[in-house]
Amino acid sequence: MATDSQFATWEVFMQTKPGANYIHAGSVHASDKKMALQNARDTYTRRGEGTSIWVVPSDAIVASNPDDNEMFFDPANDKVYRLPTFYVMPEGAKAI
């Protein structure tokens, strides 16, 4: 938006400890990448919550459409053979 005085929005993803998944924390406004990263730092890590930050322009996020939820997600529900509990193990077998 050309007339917007508040800069573009960026989505912020935080890693709270080394090795952990990055989790969406919220968003910030910024005019460039460096500013986005610094603003995310100053906004979302005030209590030592972060070890690493990703920022992504909000308009670069592609989201699934809730209307598609049935075709997207339901077909996976009956594929129980993808889970280890589906299999019958002979009694006495160890470390499997």
Partner 1 sequence: MTEQQALYKYCLILGDNALIHSYRLSEWCSNAPILEEDLALTNFSLDMIGRAQALLSYAGKIDGKGKTDDDLAYRRGEREFYNHLLKEMPNGDFANTIAKLLFTSAYEYYFFNELQHSADKTLAAIAAKTIKEVKYHMAHATDWVLRLGDGTDESHHRIQKAVNELWMYTGELFETNEATAILEDKNIAVDMAVVKAKWKQEIERVLTEATLTVPKDQYMQTGGSKGVHSEYLGHILSEMQYLQRAYPEAIW
Partner 2 sequence: MELLEKTDKIQEELLKNFEIKIDRGDAIEPRDKMPDGYRKHLIRQMSQHAHSEVIGMQPEGNWITRAPSLRAKQILLAKIQDEGGHGLYLYSAAETLGISRDEMIAQLHSGKAKYSNIFNYPALTWADIGAIGWLVDGAAIVNQVSLQRTSYGPYSRAMVRICKEESFHQRQGYEIMSKMMKGTKDQQGMAQDAMNRWWWPSLMMFGPHDSESPHTGDAFKWKIKRSSNDELRQKFIDKTVQQAEVIGLTIPDKDLKWNEAKGHYHHGPINWNEFYSVIGGGGPCNKQRMAHHIKVHNEGEWVRSAAKAYQEKKEKKLLHL
Contact residues for partner 2 (CB under 8 A)?
A: 1, 3-7, 9, 26-29, 31-32, 35, 43, 46-47, 63, 65-67
Cα distances (angstroms) measured from residue 29 to each of 4, 18, 24, 37: 11, 26, 15, 10
Q: What string marks each residue from 12 to 51 as x (binds partner 1 by CB under 8 A) or -?
A: ----------------xxxxx-xx--xx--xx--x-----
- E strand residue ranges, 1-96: 8-15, 22-30, 52-57
Nearest CA among 61, 49, 1, 57 for reference residue 25: 49
SS3 26: strand
Q: Which is nearer to partner 2, 61 or 83 (CB)?
A: 61
* Among partner 1, partner 2, none, partner that 65 touches (CB below 5 to 8 angstroms by kind): partner 2
* Among partner 2, partner 1, none, partner that 82 touches (CB below 5 to 8 angstroms by kind): none
Residue 49: φ, ψ to 5°: -80, -10
Name residues contacting partner 1, limited to 44-83 (CB under 8 A): 46
* Among partner 1, partner 2, none, partner that 77 touches (CB below 5 to 8 angstroms by kind): none
